[in-house]
Amino acid sequence: MEELSQRDQVEEATAYIKLLTQRVEEMKRRKSEALMRSTASASSGGSMGGSKLPVLKVRELAGSNLEVVLISGLCKTFMLHQIISILQQEGAEVVDVNISNIGAQIFHTILAQVKVPRIGVNTSRIRMRIQELIS
């Protein structure tokens, strides 16, 4: 195996850097196009899988746990502390919150635990109160 001269190594490194730069530019272009498509679909009705945003799901999990999933668009803003307050008022204690921003959609996942498992919580009432807040 022949060793490359210093000049050849520099030329090889330069060519590799140019290739990486082209890849980065291509990825930036793809990202920009994807964001434009995502923004366009959100502004033309804000649909996700055939349903309008925001989407709210409240369900009871095993072990006296409660999960609230809220998918909203970037244009619709609300205060997360208001949802947490509703959960607390209805007898649940928030143990985890996860927020993800994907394109023009924000995914909120709130995991709560029922304070008094013997009494439980009224998920339909929680759903109704949160729906009033986000509508």
Q: Give 17-63 pLDDT, tens digit per residue.
A: 999 999 998 888 887 777 666 655 555 554 444 457 788 999 888 87
| Stretch (H or E) spanning 114 | strand 105-114
One domain for residues 55 and 34: no
One domain for residues 9 and 56: no
One domain for residues 77 and 102: yes
| Rounded average pLDDT over 106-120 | 87
Local structure of 120: helix, strand or coil: coil
One domain for residues 62 and 126: yes
One domain for residues 113 and 71: yes
One domain for residues 40 and 99: no
Res. 109 pLDDT band, cuts 50 70 90: very high
CATH assignment at residue 77:
3.30.70
If you ran DSSP here, which 8-state letter would residue 76 be given?
Answer: -
pLDDT over 90 (residue 11): yes
Range of the domain at 24: 1-44
Neighbours of 6 (CB within 10 A): 8
Model confidence, pTM: 0.60
Longest CA pairwise span in the chain (Å): 79
